[in-house]
Amino acid sequence: MTFTDFIATPKRTKQILHQYGFSFKKSLGQNFIIDANILKNIISSAGIDKTSGVIEIGPGIGSLTEQLAIHAKKVIAFEIDRRLLPILSDTLSSFSNVTIINEDILKANIQQEIKKHFTPDLHIHIVANLPYYITTPILMNVLQQETPIESITVMLQKEVADRMAALPNTKAYGSLSIAVQYYTEAQVVMEVPKTVFIPQPNVTSSVLKLVRRKEPLVKVANEEQFFTIVQASFTHRRKTIRNNLVSFFKQTYDKGEINEFLSSAQIEGSRRGESLSIHEFAALSNAFDR
């Protein structure tokens, strides 16, 4: 199969769209990739080979799915848009190692689907060109579930990718950075121009790779409380961490108690949330439990 035969070319993509009279739904954030080189770079970055079982989210007309099927042992793809099912059945007809599941990934039992479709010897990865309007809910839903997924390599809005991989004392660093890095090692692999999509999105895209940690980066006594404190600390970015916490927890703790928690965690209350590392947030969360 040559590059000109692939789905991910402008000519072939337009031909498929015309053949099926397909119209894009803005509400589903549909942008199809028309550059096979970009897809090969994504698959290479994800480390996909014949030992891999891959979960794809939102396959569209099958551009990325086709490349995954060539390189991986088995691919399952979740597609919510029923209009795309006959197209995928056609474009992927030569691949026996692809299963399309017409289901919303946010409602799917991922663990169950993994057991159903993949053999225990496979390394499980997610590779996807995610719909940008729902990127964060999808990724957090996957990360918070107990699954054997080893890595997630996804195309998403550059701004969101930067936030997920951001380090302390940067503008992009916030509660999302900490939530993602609690579960994974995050790395922005490459930027992708608008021109490789039909239709072209309004934003620049990036490929982000998340490698699942064997255990969370920090140990906290109460995980829910940890994430609540992190979010509270970034409620108003220009406020000090003390003022944010006092305001957020005013029904539960007084200012004196907040000062005690900060002191116990050895954190100066005049600092801003963006200056604290995930380890300092863990110490602060644990101080609330003492």
Residue ranges for the known binding site for S-adenosyl-L-methionine are: 31, 33, 58, 79, 104, 129
Separation of first and last alpha carbons in the chain: 63
Q: How far apart are CA 177 and CA 162, in angstroms?
A: 9
Query: Are the CB atoms for 32 and 197 separated by under 8 Å?
Result: yes
Residue 74 bridge partners (DSSP): 53
The alpha carbons of the chain give a radius of gyration, in whole angstroms, of 21
| Closest to 164 (Cα-Cα) out of 97, 228, 155, 94 | 155
Which pair of tokens denotes residue 117? 């479709």
List, as one string, the DSSP characters of 5-46.
GSSSSHHHHHHHHHHHT----GGGT--EE--HHHHHHHHHHH
Residues making up the annotated binding site are: 31, 33, 58, 79, 104, 129
Asked whether the beta carbons of 123 and 150 are under 8 A apart, the reply is yes
